[in-house]
């Protein structure tokens, strides 16, 4: 036997077992992911989000439209008393009355403009004494159309408004509600980020960055307070058929707010960071496979097309 043959003979068995162990590891990981996906997307954890397990009251910001309104309705259906917070008192009254009538739950409204920063003492007073089991930090704004950073109309005030609504509101509402959840060792804070915060989006720069903040804030906070019995979840939807997204007709990948929220609420306690809806989770998986430079180039091209259409309509309108 030659020297080379002896070497091959010596390493043959270790290589075989290394290959077998690697194949077994990948098989176990694949089965685990399939079972985890089955648990999350088909079985869910819907029983966790209830007044008995988390606390009697739920607080929802941006409660009168879109995803926020859908959370109000779903939480009302589950028996929570609900504090609705939004800018328009008339809209708040309409949604609160509808939920009370439909589900027989107690509601409370607080009118607040989250573009301001002097609203939180009033909100804090309005929530005083309530056993808050769920906080949904939903309020948010986006761009009217994709635009270059320096070309955004009224850029100075736009920056302040975007930061106050999309970032400051999440931090301040969490500051107000989290202490009592820690004291009771139970509660859930659901922070609406966006798939736009998963990757940098050119022409939606401030919005994308603000939603990335919400995502990182939520992940870090969950690590801090998980041992205290509090759930903090980052929710990253793709397009949902809402007024803000300007999508009128829902599809499988662009669901109604109600359909999206029914799916997302079942992931609470199962996923700390979730896209909330199976088609959106698949879209996120595909997006993650793309090189970041290719993804940004694609988004840039799409944004430029949307920008051109918007500006053309403005000229002819």
Give the active site residues. Answer: 207
Cα 249 to Cα 57, 243, 252, 254, 312: the distances in Å are 33, 11, 10, 8, 23
Residue-wise DSSP of 66-118: HHHHHHHHHHHHTT-EEEEEES-HHHHHHHHHHHHHHH---EEEEE--TTSSS
Please give the Cα distance from 42 to 38 (Å, whole number): 5
What are the counts of helices (DSSP H) followed by strands (DSSP E) for the chain?
11, 7
* Residue closest to 62 by CA, chosen among 97, 93, 88: 88
Degrees to nearest 5, angle at CA 114 with 108 and 116: 125
Please give the Cα distance from 82 to 49 (Å, whole number): 13
- Contacts with 79 (C-beta within 8 Å, 6 or more apart), sequence order: 50, 51, 103, 105
> How many other CB atoms are found less than 10 A from the CB of residue 122?
12
* Dihedral sign of CA atoms 173, 174, 180, 185 in order: positive
DSSP class of 138: -
């Amino acid at each position: 036997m030659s020297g080379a043959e002896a070497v091959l003979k010596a390493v043959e068995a270790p290589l075989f077992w290394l290959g077998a162990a690697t194949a077994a590891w990948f098989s176990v990981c694949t089965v685990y992911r399939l079972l985890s996906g089955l648990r999350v997307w088909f079985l869910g954890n819907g029983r966790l989000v209830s007044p008995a397990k988390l606390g009697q009251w739920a607080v929802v910001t941006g409660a009168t439209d879109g995803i926020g309104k859908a959370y109000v309705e779903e939480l009302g259906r589950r028996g929570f008393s609900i504090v609705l917070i939004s800018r328009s008192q008339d809209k708040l009254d309409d949604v609160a009355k509808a939920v009370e009538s439909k589900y027989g739950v107690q509601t409370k409204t607080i009118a607040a403009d989250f573009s301001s920063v002097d609203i939180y003492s009033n909100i804090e007073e309005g929530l005083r004494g309530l056993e808050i089991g769920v906080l949904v930090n939903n309020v948010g704004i986006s761009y009217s159309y994709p635009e270059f950073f320096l070309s955004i109309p009224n850029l100075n005030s736009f920056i302040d408004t975007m930061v106050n609504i999309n970032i400051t509101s999440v931090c301040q509402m969490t500051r107000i509600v989290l202490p009592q959840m820690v004291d009771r060792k139970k509660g859930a804070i659901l922070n609406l980020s966006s798939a736009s915060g998963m990757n940098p989006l050119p022409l939606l720069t401030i919005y994308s960055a603000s939603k990335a903040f919400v995502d990182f804030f939520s992940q870090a906070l969950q690590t801090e307070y998980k041992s205290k019995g509090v759930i903090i979840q980052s929710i990253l939807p793709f397009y949902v058929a809402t007024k803000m997204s300007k999508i009128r007709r829902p599809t499988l990948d662009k669901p109604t707010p109600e359909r999206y929220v029914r799916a997302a609420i079942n992931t609470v306690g199962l996923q700390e960071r979730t896209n909330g809806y199976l088609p959106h989770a698949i879209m996120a998986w595909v997006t993650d496979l793309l090189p970041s430079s290719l993804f940004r180039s694609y988004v840039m091209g799409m944004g430029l097309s949307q920008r051109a259409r918007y500006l053309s309509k403005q000229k002819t309108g």
